[in-house]
Amino acid sequence: MNLLRQNLSRVAPFAILLLVLLAAAVVEPQFYDVANLGNVARGAAFLAVVALGQLMVIIVRGLDLSVGAVITATLLLVVELAGTRNGSIPLALVAVVGMALAVGVLNATLVVFRRVPAILATLATFVLVDGVGLWLTQGRSRGRVPDLIKPLGTGTVAGIPVAVIVAAVLAVAVAVLLGRMRFGRAMYAVGANPDASYLAGVPRRRVAALAFVASSVLAMVAGLMLSGYVGFYDRTIGVGYDLDSIAAAILGGASFAGGVGTVAGTMAAVVGLAALDNLLLVAGVGPAVQLIGKGLVLFVAVLSAGLLSARPAEVSQPTHQTA
């Protein structure tokens, strides 16, 4: 039974992607217009970068609801520090990296070291970061995204969107990290059995903490890409990326029980979700139906997490306090 579940979890994201692509060919052939496929690729690239970080957090039995706030804060800092007349792009980049590291460390401190449930800790971080941004700007912004950053969201190289290239490079890097490097194996070990990994000498708290930091940094990268795409301050830019990235990781074969998940499966789920969003948009479906469709996808993600998991997710934290 466990083997069957594992095989289903590997096949499911690719099956969902195929179904969406077939549905697009029947329902809305304009979906396959070259320009529209470029839009799908960009949308998938933005989500893919966030989902890579979310995947690593879920592997170590966590989740990160603060990624949307990190994306919005990245855009805010870019606009405020680099988009004004006397702005500085290097200063803005230093600021966004520092912000992402600070959010990641805060999440790690709360979840890993203070043992606060991840859903509560990262939600609190989301509210904090979003509130600070709103307080600083009062909902308004004084600048625009500099031209040097715009290619991250709108540029192309040999006809391929720069965002897609960045996402592909990061996906390969994370795949190598998880599949070939000691740290990646430690992440799977911590997620699969925290107590056994502790007895084996794995510094599990350090590993889990770095997963949260990596998630925030990758969300910041996605924020830079989205900054280049939108070109101006929009405080709703990060809305939805938290749940969408979780859905992509879970549909891609990860489990809230930890210890499983692949980059390939997550990327297939990302493309499927991006294609579905675009298909509904191209078909002229209203916002209400789009929300219903996304809600159904999230429901399927949660349901699949329960059905395909080889073991139930553990609510309690590991008993050991060291390492």
Q: pLDDT tens digit string along 213-270? A: 999 999 999 999 999 999 988 889 999 999 999 999 998 989 888 999 999 999 999 9
pLDDT category at 26 given cuts 50, 70, 90 is: confident
Distance of alpha carbon 25 from alpha carbon 138, whole angstroms: 45
Residue 221, judged by CB atoms within 10 A of its CB (0-12, 13-18, 19+), counts as buried
CATH 3.30.1380, domain 2-308, yes or no: no
Paired with 232 in beta bridges are: 144
What are the pLDDT digits (tens) for 272-286? 999 988 888 888 877
Helices (H), the chain: 2-27, 34-59, 67-82, 89-108, 118-137, 151-154, 162-180, 182-192, 194-199, 204-230, 241-251, 263-282, 287-308
**Which residues have a Cβ under 8 Å from the Cβ of 292 and sit 6 or more positions away?**
none
pTM listed for this prediction: 0.90
Paired with 160 in beta bridges are: 157
What are the pLDDT digits (tens) for 34-51? 889 999 999 999 999 999
Tokens of 259: 């210890």
**Which residues have a Cβ under 8 Å from the Cβ of 13 and sit 6 or more positions away?**
251, 252, 253, 265, 266, 268, 269, 272
Distance of alpha carbon 99 from alpha carbon 105, whole angstroms: 10
**pLDDT above 60: residue 162:** yes
Distance of alpha carbon 115 from alpha carbon 61, whole angstroms: 12
